């Protein structure tokens, strides 16, 4: 379920509904293996017996109901928008992102993963104007803050500076923010490299 500016995208979520999961599991003889809980339901951890709340809302909801509920959350801002980056003590982006890039390189080496493409962060100013604050290159020959992009294949993330701060400090997850459409993603050529996106979770100060 997506809220805020990404709420309309809930119509396109790939997650199956409870009825679809039950039907699929029953087709392979595992119909009793799914127990979907809703707000108010209680499960006994010892016996695994479930007490259903008769007043639970949206039990066995449909895709239409899911999308309608998401649209009721359209006015809720993502939590990262509550972050205030002080103007009187500017955050040292260059130093922080250099540390993130070093952590990321170590983790990728452990994964034995070296993508044949560059990764860029197009960091935008907070607020409604959404101007480019700076571009950061993770992998190119111009690693660090740069003005342009190189000639190699590339993946570019476009994101608010407040969101980037939350990502590199571990307040939110790269994978969750990308999946919830709060990070803009473009690829040239437009070829999805699963391990590259999966590895980005390690681009943090804490990795």
Neighbours of 42 (CB within 10 A): 10
pLDDT digits (tens, 9 = 90+) for 77-133: 888 888 888 877 888 999 999 999 999 999 999 999 988 889 999 999 887 678 999
Q: What are phi and psi of 169, to 5 degrees?
A: -95, 0
Predicted pLDDT of residue 90: 83
94 in the same domain as 49: no
Predicted pLDDT of residue 169: 94
Range of the domain at 134: 82-202
Q: Name the pTM for this structure.
A: 0.74
CA neighbor of 160 nearest in space, from 194, 112, 115, 126: 126
CA distance 145 to 134: 7
Contacts of 13 (CB under 8 A, 6+ apart): 1, 2, 66
120 in the same domain as 66: no
pLDDT digits (tens, 9 = 90+) for 99-109: 999 999 999 99
Domain boundary among 27, 59, 77: 77
DSSP calls for 90-138 = ---HHHHHHHHHHHHHHHHHHTT---SSEEEEEEEPSSSS--EEEEEES
pLDDT digits (tens, 9 = 90+) for 44-70: 989 889 999 999 887 888 888 888 888
Evaluate whether residue 207 is within a structural domain.
Answer: no
The single-letter DSSP state of residue 175 is H
């Amino acid at each position: 379920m997506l809220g805020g500016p990404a709420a309309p995208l809930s119509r396109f979520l790939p997650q199956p509904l409870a009825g679809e999961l039950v039907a699929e599991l029953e087709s392979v003889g595992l119909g009793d293996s799914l127990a979907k809980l809703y707000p108010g339901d209680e499960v006994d951890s010892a016996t695994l017996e479930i007490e259903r709340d008769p007043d639970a809302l949206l039990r066995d909801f449909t895709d239409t109901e899911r999308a309608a509920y998401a649209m009721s959350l359209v006015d809720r801002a993502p939590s990262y928008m509550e972050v205030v980056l002080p103007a009187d003590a500017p955050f040292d982006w260059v130093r922080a992102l250099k540390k993130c890039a070093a952590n990321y390189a170590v983790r990728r080496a452990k994964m034995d993963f070296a993508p044949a493409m560059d990764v860029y962060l197009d960091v935008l100013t907070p607020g409604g104007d959404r101007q480019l604050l700076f571009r950061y290159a993770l992998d190119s020959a111009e690693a660090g803050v740069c003005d342009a992009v190189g000639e190699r294949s590339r993946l570019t993330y476009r994101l608010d500076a407040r969101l980037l701060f939350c990502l590199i400090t571990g307040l939110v997850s790269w994978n969750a923010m990308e999946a919830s459409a709060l990070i803009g993603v473009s690829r040239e050529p437009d070829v999805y490299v699963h391990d590259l996106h999966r590895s980005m979770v390690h681009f943090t100060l804490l990795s």
